[in-house]
Amino acid sequence: MSVSIVWLRNDLRLSDNPALVEGLRSGKPVVPVFVLDDETKGLRSIGGASRWWLHHSLQSLDASLRKLGSRLTLRRGPAERVLPELAAECGAEAILWNRLYDEGSRNRDARLKKSLNERGVQAESFKANLLFEPWEIKNQSGTPFKVFTPFWRACRAHAPPDAPLPAPKALPAPKTWPASDALNEWRLLPTKPDWAGGLRSAWTPGEDGAKERLGDFLDDTLEDYRHARELPAVEGTSRLSPHLAFGEISPRQIWRAATHRAQPAATEKFLSEVGWREFAYSLLFHHGDLAQRNFRPEFDAFPWAGTGKTLAAWQRGRTGYPIVDAGMRELWATGWMHNRVRMIAASFLTKDLLIDWREGERWFWDTLADADPANNATGWQWVAGCGADAAPYFRVFNPVLQGAKFDPKGEYVRRWIPELADLPDAVIHSPWTASKPPPAAVYPERIVEHGAARDRALAAFQSLRKSA
C-alpha cells in the first residue's frame, strides 16, 4: 500500500500543521520524517544552542506521534537524495511539506519538487509558519515594503489569518516502518563540556512546552506587556521565540489565542511584535541573504575595524560595561537574551567597537536557541544602520544610560554579574565611577570609553557618506 510522506522541518508540532493534515486527508498511511540536511550547499548549519533545542524538540514530537499510533523517522543527509530514496522504499505517492523562505531552502525545495515529479511522486508545499505569505503583502506599487509601519498597517487591513487547524486524533501507520536513525546518533547535545545546564533549567522544548509558555504569558504577563517588555529584570516578554523558530507553535495559534483576550492595547502591541517577524521574513524572501549582504549596499564600503581581542571580550561578557556583559552572559547561560539588551549589545559591538555586524550575527546564530534566519539578520542590520527601516547610524546606544533607564536598580546586572552585587544602584552601570571600583581581577576595566568610541563611529559614518 502506498503512503504519504510528511517532511517536517521548522514545524515540529501536530496542531495547525497543514502538511500533516493533508497527509491524513489523503487516506493513506502517513510517514512523518525529519531530515538533518547539513550537507547541501547554500544551506546554513544550525548553531550549538539550536542543536540542543532540536534534539529535545524531536524527542518530544516523536513521543506525541507515538500516542497517535505513529512515529518519527529520522534520516541524515542531503534531502534531495534522502527523500527520493525514502519514497522508493515506502512506495510513496506524495511528499508533503510546509514552506521555508530563505533562499537556499527555496532553491533546494524547487529542485526537489522537480526531481520528485519526474519520478511520479507528487510534491506539494503549504503555508504554515507565517500569518501572511511574503508575496501577499505589497505596497500600492505592487512591490515589497521596506519600512515596518506601513507593512504592518497593510497586514492589519488584510483579511485576518485563517483559524488554526486542529491536531489529528490518530495517524494511520504503514504496515512496515522505514528504517530510522537513532536520535542520539546525531550527537546534537554537548558532552565535553556539557554547557547546556542553563538551557535545561530555562526551557521546555516541544509543542507542550510552547502551549504552556503561551498560556502563562497570556494569563500572567500580557496585561502589563507594553511596559514590562522593556525591563530585562522581569518576566515581561512572551519568550516564545525559540518555540516559534522550531515551529512548535504557529503564528496563527498565537494570533487566535491573543485576540481572544480582553486587553486590546497590550494585545495590539504584542501582535505588532509578531508582525515584526512577518516583516523580517518578507525581507528575507525578497532580498536574499540577509545574514551576509548589507541591505543598503552603500555600507559595503563601511570602514569596519578588525576584531582583535575586543570581539572575544564582547562574546565572553567582559567589556567592562555591565548591561552589555550581563546580556552576553545571559545568552551563554540560557541560549536567550532580552530584546532590549540585544539591541544594546549589538550597538556596542557595531558602533563602540566598530566590528562588522556579521561577526555578531554569527555569534548569535551559534548561541541563541531562537536563532532564526530572518529575525536574527534583520535585527543585526537594523541596529548597525545598514538594514531596512534601520535605526539611523548616528543612533548609538549609550550602555550606561540604557542600563540606568531599563534596569534602574541593577537587578538584571546583579543576577548575571554577581561580582558587582554589592555596588550601589547609582554606580551599578558605571562601576569605574564607584568610590572603590572593583579591581580588574574581579571585573574588567572598560575596553573602550563610550564617548570616544561614539565619535569614532560617527566619523566612520561620515567618511562613508563622503565617498558615496
The model's pLDDT over 279-333, given as tens digits with 9 standing for 90+, comes to 999 999 999 889 999 999 999 999 999 888 999 999 999 999 999 999 999 999 9
CATH hierarchy code of domain 297-467? 1.10.579.10
Contact 331, 337 (CB under 8 A): yes
Q: CB under 8 Å to 268, separation ≥6 — which residues?
A: none
CA distance 251 to 281: 13
CA distance 449 to 272: 36
Cis peptide before 193 (omega within 30 of 0): yes
User: pLDDT tens digits, residue range 262-280?
Assistant: 788 899 999 999 999 999 9
Count of CA atoms in the C-beta half-sphere (13 A) of 393: 22
Domain ranges in the chain? 3-129, 130-161+206-287, 297-467
Task: Identify which of 102, 103, 83 has the alpha carbon closest to the alpha carbon of residue 94.
Answer: 83
Looking at the chain, how many residues does it have?
A: 468
CA distance 99 to 113: 12
Please say if the pLDDT value at position 468 is more than 60: no
Q: Measured at the alpha carbon of residue 385, what is the angle toward residues 381 and 390, in degrees to the nearest 5?
A: 80
User: pLDDT tens digits, residue range 39-97?
Assistant: 787 789 999 999 999 999 999 999 999 999 999 999 999 999 999 999 999 999 999 99
Give the CATH fold of the 3-129 domain: Rossmann fold (3.40.50)
Please say if the pLDDT value at position 415 is more than 70: yes
CA distance 271 to 276: 9
Instruction: State residue 324's pLDDT score.
Output: 98
Residue 419 cell numbers, joined? 561580582
Q: What is the pTM of this model?
A: 0.96
As a whole number, mean pLDDT of residues 359-373 equals 97
The CATH number of domain 130-161+206-287, selected from 1.10.10.10, 1.25.40.80, 3.30.1330.20, 1.50.10.20: 1.25.40.80
Active site residues: 273, 276, 304, 339, 357, 380
